[in-house]
């Protein structure tokens, strides 16, 4: 897998369009244009309000995540569409899908994001795990389409037993094989940056760049997780560090391809390679830095979704209130 920068592509200019990008420009022109598009997308709205939500529980039915989100004043949601830690998924019943779509229309949740199963390892060197992952991910895509989801977020996987560049290549190949022949409609796959725990790839934005470049037909986007980036060694605490990280994101994947921001503080320390999310303002990233991320105009097109701990009743409400206090 080459390490040269690819020219970022022009992505959609508003939050609801999902047409595949069809134009490639030179890097400089594209970078400049994307910044303009990002500003245009923002200035075209009546307000700069972010689309906000959280990873909502689906106990008692998928539609309950929508009800809980609406109750907390959200206009976006992230869910698991199946058991996140098991291989076997119960098929979605048509009544379940209908109920989800009905409640979505009633609650006005404009954006639905599905997070893929944690066992899925698209980069697995072991062929048995890779085959299972390919089948499981294909099911995730099919469920996402059935539910009318906008985005499906997946981690690139673990390189255990292989070198990083081979794992990046395997991830791209498994993704393409899993999605072969699928009519996506509006669903778009987002590759998430990781903390780099264990042998996980995706902690370096270059890994995301290479996976995206290897799958042009999938029009992959990016899910940017603040806690993962921090634990992976991107020091976003100060303004200079944050700007350097943005530059790196722009150079590698293009800021416009970031459709979802996972807005989390980190219980794990800087560069620890440990994935531990924490309540907003109470972790090692802190309120000042997270406020800078939330207010960043170049990320305004993305939905901001919390994946903070749900230890006590009211945790989601208080973390949402913290996020809102930064942007309202």
* Residues within the interface to Zn ion (CB under 5 A): 192, 225, 262, 307
Query: Least separation, in Å, of the C-beta of 193 and Zn ion?
Result: 8
- For the CB of residue 189, give the shortest distance to Zn ion in the complex, in Å: 13
Catalytic residue, chosen from 9, 50, 130, 262, is 262
Q: Tokens representing 222?
A: 């990016």
Q: Quick check: is 275 catalytic?
A: yes
Question: Could you confirm whether 279 is annotated as catalytic?
Answer: no
- What is the nearest approach in angstroms of Zn ion to the Cβ of residue 153? 6
| Sequence-separated (6 or more) residues with CB below 8 Å from residue 208 | 156, 191, 193, 202, 222, 252, 253
Residue in 155, 188, 203, 301 annotated catalytic: 155
Please count the helices (runs of H) and the strands (runs of E) in the chain. 10, 10
- Could you say which of 275, 278, 284, 292 is catalytic? 275
Annotated active-site residue 95? The verdict is no
CA distances from 260 to 127, 250, 255 (A): 31, 15, 11
Give the span between the Cα atoms of 177 and 181, in whole angstroms.
9
Nearer to Zn ion, 11 or 192 (CB): 192
Q: Closer to Zn ion at the Cβ: 225 or 316?
A: 225
> Which residue of the set 9, 63, 115, 259 is catalytic?
115
Tell me the residue number closest to Zn ion, measured at CB: 262
270 has catalytic annotation: no
Catalytic residue check, 235: no
184: nearest Cα among 155, 134, 223, 141 = 141
State the nearest-atom distance from the C-beta of 28 to Zn ion, in Å.
31
Catalytic: which of 63, 277, 284, 292? 277
- For residue 63, with 0-12 CB atoms within 10 Å meaning exposed, 13-18 middle and 19 or more buried, which class applies? buried
Q: In the complex, what is the shortest distance from the CB of residue 149 to Zn ion, in angstroms, rounded to a whole number? A: 15
**Which class for 248: exposed (0-12), middle (13-18), buried (19 or more C-beta within 10 A)?**
middle
- Annotation says 277 is catalytic: yes
Is 118 noted as a catalytic residue in this protein?
yes
Which member of 63, 82, 143, 228 is catalytic? Answer: 228
Chain center to CA of 230: 16
Q: C-alpha distances in angstroms, 35 versus 22, 180, 220, 239, 292?
A: 18, 33, 19, 19, 18
For the chain, strand residue ranges (E) read 51-55, 76-79, 111-115, 151-154, 188-192, 221-225, 258-262, 265-266, 277-278, 303-306
Nearest CA-CA partner of 191 in 260, 265, 275: 260
CB of 262 to Zn ion, least distance (A): 3
143, 96 Cβ separation under 8 angstroms:
no
Considering the complex, state which of residue 139 and residue 192 has its C-beta at the smaller distance from Zn ion: 192
State yes or no: is 225 an active-site residue: yes
Of 10 and 320, the one with the shorter C-beta distance to Zn ion is: 320
Question: Which one, 103 or 306, has the nearer CB to Zn ion?
Answer: 306
CB-wise, 10 or 58, nearer to Zn ion?
58
Rounded Cα–Cα distance for residues 167 and 303 (Å): 29
Which residues are marked as active site? 85, 115, 118, 155, 192, 225, 228, 262, 275, 277, 307
């Amino acid at each position: 897998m080459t390490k040269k920068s690819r020219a970022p592509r022009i992505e959609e200019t508003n939050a609801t369009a999902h047409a595949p990008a069809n134009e490639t420009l030179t890097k400089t022109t594209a970078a400049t244009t994307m910044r303009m598009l990002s500003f245009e997308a923002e200035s075209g709205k009546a307000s700069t309000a972010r689309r906000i939500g959280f990873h909502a529980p689906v106990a008692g039915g998928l539609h309950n995540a929508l009800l809980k989100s609406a109750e907390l004043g959200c206009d976006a949601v992230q869910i698991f569409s199946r058991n996140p830690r098991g291989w076997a998924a119960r098929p979605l019943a048509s009544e379940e899908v209908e109920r989800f779509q009905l409640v979505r229309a009633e609650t006005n949740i404009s954006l639905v994001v599905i997070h893929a199963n944690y066992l899925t390892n698209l980069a697995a060197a072991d062929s048995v795990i890779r085959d299972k992952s390919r089948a499981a991910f294909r099911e995730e895509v099919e469920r996402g389409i059935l539910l009318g989801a906008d985005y499906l977020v997946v981690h690139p996987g673990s390189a255990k037993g292989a070198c990083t560049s081979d794992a990046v290549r395997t991830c791209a190949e498994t993704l393409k094989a899993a999605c072969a022949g699928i009519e996506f409609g509006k669903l778009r796959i987002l590759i998430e940056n990781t903390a780099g725990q264990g042998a996980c790839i995706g902690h370096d934005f270059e890994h995301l760049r290479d996976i995206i470049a290897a799958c042009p037909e999938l029009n992959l986007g990016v899910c940017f997780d603040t806690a993962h980036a921090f634990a992976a060694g991107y020091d976003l605490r100060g303004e200079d560090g944050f700007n350097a990280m943005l530059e790196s994101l722009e150079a590698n994947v293009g800021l416009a391809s970031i459709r979802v921001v996972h807005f989390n503080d980190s219980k794990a320390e800087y560069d620890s390679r440990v994935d531990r999310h924490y309540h907003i303002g109470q972790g090692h990233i802190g309120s000042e830095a997270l406020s800078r991320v939330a207010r960043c105009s170049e990320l305004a097109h993305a939905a901001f979704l919390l994946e903070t701990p749900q230890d006590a009743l009211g945790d989601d409400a208080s973390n949402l209130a913290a996020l809102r206090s930064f942007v309202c």
